[in-house]
Structure 1
Amino acid sequence: MTSFYLSKPYQPPQAPQNLPLNVPWPLFGGISPDQFMKRYWHKKPLLVRGAIPAFGLSIKQNEALGSPISLEELVQFADQEEVESRLIQSKPWRFDHGPFQKKFIPNADKPDWALLLQGMEAHHPAAAKILSWFRFIPDARLDDLMISVAGIGGGVGPHFDSYDVFLIQMSGRRQWRISEQKDLSLNPKLPLKILQKFQCEQEWVLEPGDMLYLPPHIAHDGIALDSGCQTWSVGFRSPSYKELLQEGLWRLAESLEEIPDLEKKFADPKQVATACAEQLPAELITQLKRQLERLQLNRIDTLLPGITAYLSEPKQQAFFNAPKNPLSPSKFLKKLAIAALVPKPQTRILSLGNEVFCNGDNMSKNQSVAVNSAWAELSANKRLKTQRLKSIDKTSLYEAYLAGWLDFEDSRSR
C-alpha cells in the first residue's frame, strides 16, 4: 500500500450546474441519479467500487492519489475555533471536543484514534466541490461534509445514524461492517453512542475512491486499516416532524407582530349571564377560531415560510466576516456586470416557490422583481452574474454582501 505521505493530492472537479440525472454515473456504479433515488435512497445500502475513477486510473499509471487535504492540514483545522472537531480514542473509549493543539492529537502511526472534523465544506474548496456532486438531492436535506482521519484501528465504534450518509474513502483503507438489525439500544456505560449488541451481517474493505451509501438506522462500524486513513462523509439530515413544526410555529408567532389588527382587545358585548363561570367562554372560542381562519393557520402554506427559514440557517459554528473595504452600491453594480457573486461557503440558501431564504432570513420580502430574480438565480446556481440590476442600494442582495454572506468569486479565491 502506497503511503499517504507520497500520494499526489486528488483534485475533485466542480459538478456542472445542470446535472445529468438520467444517465449512468460512475459515482453510483453505472446507474443514474434517477435510478439511485428510486432503488436505494432511504431504502437500502449501496457499495460502489471505484466511485471516483481517478483513483483507479492513477494506480494504473503508477501514480497513487491521496486525499485532497493532508493530515497536517486537518490537524491545523482542528486547532481553529470555527471548526467543530472531536477526538475519539478507544481502548478505553474516550471522547473530547476541540479545538485541539497539535500536541494533543496522536501521530499518524499511533493506533486506536480518530479525529472528526464537521462542516469542512465551509473551510476547504475541495470539500465544497465534493458536495456539488450531490445536488440532485434537495439542498434542504443537506447537513454537511465530515472528514474522519484515523490511525490503525481508529473509529467511533458500532453505531447508527438517523440520516442518510455517503461514506467516501479518500486515503488508506477502512473496513466497514454493517447490519440491518432491529435492536439499536446503546451501551449506557460508554461516553459515545455505541450499540450494546452489534451483529455484523455484511462487511467490506473500502479502498481510496470507493463509496458506501447507508440509509438511516443501518448499524455500522468502520475501522481504519492504515495510518492516516481518511473517510469523507456526506450527510443528509432528517429533522423530526416535531422539530420542523415547532420551528415553523415559532417563526409564525413572531410574524404576528406585523399584523396591527391583532393588537385589538377581545370584546364580548354579546356575552350572556352564565351559570358556569368556570368554563372558558364560548364567545372567546368563537372569536379566536375566526381569527385563526382569517390568518389561515390551518393551512401548511402558512407554516412553510418559517420552516424554510429554519432549514436555511447556517451551522452554529458559522462565522461571517464583513468585507474590510466594501464596495459602494455603484461599484458593486459595476463589478456584478463583470464578476460572479457567490455565497460564502458557510451560507445556506433555499427557495420556497418564488421566495428565497438566506441564513434564516427572507430575502424576497419587499424587494423588486429584478432583485428577487437575482436571488432565485443565486439559490438555483449558487452563482450570479448580471447586468439587469439598475439599483442595489438598500436591497437585500447588497445587505447580504455587507454582512459577509456573499462575495465576488475573484475575491473569495484570493
Structure 2
Amino acid sequence: MTSFYLSKPYQPPKAPQNLPLNEPWALFGGISPNLFMESYWHKKPLLIRGAIPAFTLAEQNQESLGSPITASELIALASQDGVESRLIKSNPWSFNAGPFSKKSIPALSKPNWTLLLQGMEAHHPAAAKILSWFRFIPDARLDDLMISIAGVGGGVGPHFDSYDVFLIQMSGRRRWQISQQKDLSLSPNLPLKILQHFKPEHDWVLEPGDMLYLPPHIAHDGVALDAGCQTWSVGFRSPSFKELLQEGLWRLAESLEEMPELEQKFADPRQKASLNAEQLPEELIKQITVKLRELQLDQVHRFLPGITAYLSEPKPQAFFEGPAKPLSPSRFSKQLGLKKLLPSPQTRILSLGKEVFCNGENMSQGQPEDIAQAWRILSAKKVLVGTKPQLSNQSTLYEAYLAGWLVFESAKSV
C-alpha cells in the first residue's frame, strides 16, 4: 500500500464552541456524546468504523486522503529537543528515547519499528484541532495526543493502559487485538511493559478514519500492516488520589505563608503539671484543633484550589518564549479588540468556579473583575477577542502574554 505517499492531507476541522451533546456524531458511530459517556466511557470498548467520514467519502470518490502530518514531518519533529519521542523495535525488543537523528530512524520500508511522539497538540495545529473534538470531556482529564508511525509489523507489544484512550487510524492499516482478561502480569526482563500472557478476544483491522475507544486496563496489541502506518492516540490522565492529595496539601501549606496571624507562638498558660511528660500535651492538641477549624482545613474547598493549580500545570518539557518585541499594556489592550488572543499550544487553563488557573498559577486572584472575566472566557472558549480590559503591568493577562503563555493568532495557529 503506497498510494498514501501521494495522497492529499486530511484537514481536520476545529470543533464548534457549543458542542451538540445530545445529537448523533459520526465520531461515535451515530450516537451522541451524552450516550457515549453514559454507555461506554470508563466502562467498555467501542469500535467505530468511519469515525472520520472524510476518509470514507474520499474512497467513494476514488481519491486518496492521507494523514494531516506527513511521515517526513514527524521524523523531523523527532529530532527536536522540545518533542518527547521514543523509538521501539521488536525482534528483539529495544527502547530508546529521543531526540533522534534522521539516520537513526529506520526507513518506512523497514519492518518492526515504531516511532512515538507525545504531546503533538503543542507542535502541530492539526493535532490541536483533533483534541477540540473531545472537549465534552473535562479538560482536567486530558493528557495529550500521541502519534505513532511505524513500519510493517511495528508496535509496542501487548499491554494495558491505566487511562482512557481513543485510537484514531490516520494512515495505513493497523490490526488491533483486545482482551478484557484479568491477568495483567508483565513479562520480566524486557525494556517495555509487555503482557506475559495475552489472550485476544477480539481482532479488528482499522482503516484510515476508523477509531477504537478503550477504557483503562483493557489488554490490547496494535500491529502495523502498512509502511508508514499512523495511529493518533488521544489519552486522558487519571491521577491517583495520593498524587492529588499530596499536591493539594503542598499548595495548601504554601498558602499559609500569606496568613500573618499564624506567626503567633503557641502558649500554654493553662498547662498543668503532668505525670506523662512524654505525651504530646492536650493543650497543644486542643489549640491546633481550634486553628484547623478556624482555617477550615478539614473542608474540601480548601484543597481544591491547589489540586486545580496542579492539574493546570503544563508538561515538564513545555517551553515558553515571550514575544520578541512585546507590546506595551496600552497597545496590547488595543490589539485585544482586533485580534484573537489564544493560549499557547503548551498552555493549560482550568477553572474552579470563578477562579482561573493557568500553568499552575491562579490568574484571577486579586485581579479587577474585567481581567478575571477575560480569564474565565479564555478558560471556557480557549480564545479571547473583541474585548479591551483595563490593563497595567501587574495584570496577569498581560504578564501571561509577556511569558508566552498567551499569544495572538497568526497564520500558523489557524
TM-score by length of 2: 0.99
Q: Determine the C-alpha separation between the residues in 1 that align with 2:412 and 2:392.
A: 21
Q: Structure 1: which 5+ residue stretches go unaligned?
A: none
1:385 CA displacement: 1.0
How is 1:15-414 mapped onto 2 (pairs within 5 angstroms)? 15-410=15-410, 413=413
- 2:223 alignment partner AA: I
**Which SS does the other structure have where 2:158 is aligned?**
coil
1:253 CA displacement: 0.6
| Residue-by-residue CA offset, 1:331-360 (whole Å, 9 max, x unaligned) | 001110111110000000000000000000
Q: Determine the C-alpha separation between the residues in 1 that align with 2:134 and 2:84.
A: 22
Same amino acid, percent of matched pairs: 71
Q: Determine the C-alpha separation between the residues in 1 that align with 2:244 and 2:131.
A: 24
2:6 is matched with which residue? 6
- 2:274 alignment partner AA: T
- 1:307 alignment partner AA: I
| Residue-by-residue CA offset, 1:237-257 (whole Å, 9 max, x unaligned) | 000001000000000011111
Contact 1:86 1:95 in 2 (8 A): yes
| Residue-by-residue CA offset, 1:126-171 (whole Å, 9 max, x unaligned) | 0000000000000000000000000000000000000000000000
RMSD: 1.0
| Residue-by-residue CA offset, 1:26-63 (whole Å, 9 max, x unaligned) | 00000000000000000000000000000010011111
Contact 2:336 2:388 in 1 (8 A): no
Contact 1:28 1:51 in 2 (8 A): yes
1:413 CA displacement: 3.7
1:2 CA displacement: 4.9
- 1:193 alignment partner AA: K
Q: Determine the C-alpha separation between the residues in 2 that align with 1:127 and 1:375.
A: 24
**Which SS does the other structure have where 1:176 is aligned?**
strand
Contact 2:142 2:235 in 1 (8 A): yes
1:278 CA displacement: 0.5
Q: Determine the C-alpha separation between the residues in 1 that align with 2:411 and 2:126.
A: 18
Q: Determine the C-alpha separation between the residues in 2 that align with 1:75 and 1:388.
A: 42
Contact 1:333 1:392 in 2 (8 A): no
1:411 CA displacement: 7.0
Q: Determine the C-alpha separation between the residues in 2 that align with 1:410 and 1:11.
A: 18
1:259 CA displacement: 0.5
Contact 1:312 1:360 in 2 (8 A): yes
- 1:291 alignment partner AA: K
**Which SS does the other structure have where 2:88 is aligned?**
strand
Q: Structure 2: which 5+ residue stretches go unaligned?
A: none
1:386 CA displacement: 3.1
Q: Determine the C-alpha separation between the residues in 2 that align with 1:14 and 1:186.
A: 39
- 1:27 alignment partner AA: L
**Which SS does the other structure have where 1:59 is aligned?**
helix
Contact 2:172 2:230 in 1 (8 A): yes
Q: Determine the C-alpha separation between the residues in 1 that align with 2:162 and 2:65.
A: 32
1:389 CA displacement: 1.2
Contact 2:321 2:404 in 1 (8 A): yes
